[in-house]
Chain A
């Protein structure tokens, strides 16, 4: 693929927030192993790298990109509403985050996601988001 074409079409993304993805119908499961070398983590925080809470939202967004795999190449999935998000413990370098989400289509281009965060088999939080396909 032509690099210039890739760059001009690509959205701005803070990091790769999904390592593995599986889906069955309207439910998806993704994992992400936190590393100290992930973008932005050296500054969050020096000597104590913690996966930023906002990056769980990015994990869900990238999961929906994969779940909504028939989207046109020139469109993007964007978060348009955070109904509720709760983070109950931090994920540190070396931890594996698992996010399991249930998707409900609310229109041709919108989907609500209810998700649960697991950090190495301990409860990490919950997310309720609305995402929109933007052409």
Chain B
């Protein structure tokens, strides 16, 4: 399925800031020891949606007085934690490519990829410690702990058929949404926003992040290998039970159980086809859309201005992009 072409999701000011940030991030990683920068730079330059730095920038837009250097350090910190998790995820998934580039583990080996991920994680907090009194480090540290705990908890639920929607939502709130929340909160704190605004941004970004993960999990069934950079049905192979699978498992005589316990090619293909046909995808999309609606409801409570507009627009973009 081709991702729908979307209008620009955020304002020109945010887009320009993101472009400047892209240069900042590349320069930052370039300055690191070559044993780290050489393997990491292609991954950094390959780009990405940069949703987390975008959230920092958007939330920080609540004030016109945010120092650009501090802003970019915060953006870099969240993106480095995200990149570190992707580098290690690629090892765990035995992924050969990401965004059309060879992964670090494929190009340099597992050991180097582990080191690169560790280094990027340390760099994130080193960056913040230079100029922070903990207001920015604290939400990022919390998100990092939730993210790593979420990964461990996911290991314990691999291939289990008895998972609930609430359990899944709890899992993705730690694995994915936590870093979205940290991004928005860091932006809010840079802007000196009050507790009410910070709370609204937490609700917005938590729901946005959860919806984003659901759409990502849907794509594993509905997209194609060229777009994903890995075969369709990878979650079944890995044993990760996602929302579409939880819905599909409700149907009797579904082939998912067999595919999860023995993910051979034919079984996975049959399970993917079943998930697509049984209505599970539509239900998952509806849930994601509900979460976006909740996100937008939280954003609507913010003071009128570019930040509110960008957040609402970003919510619409996420829906359009994945439908």
Report whether chain A binds chain B: no
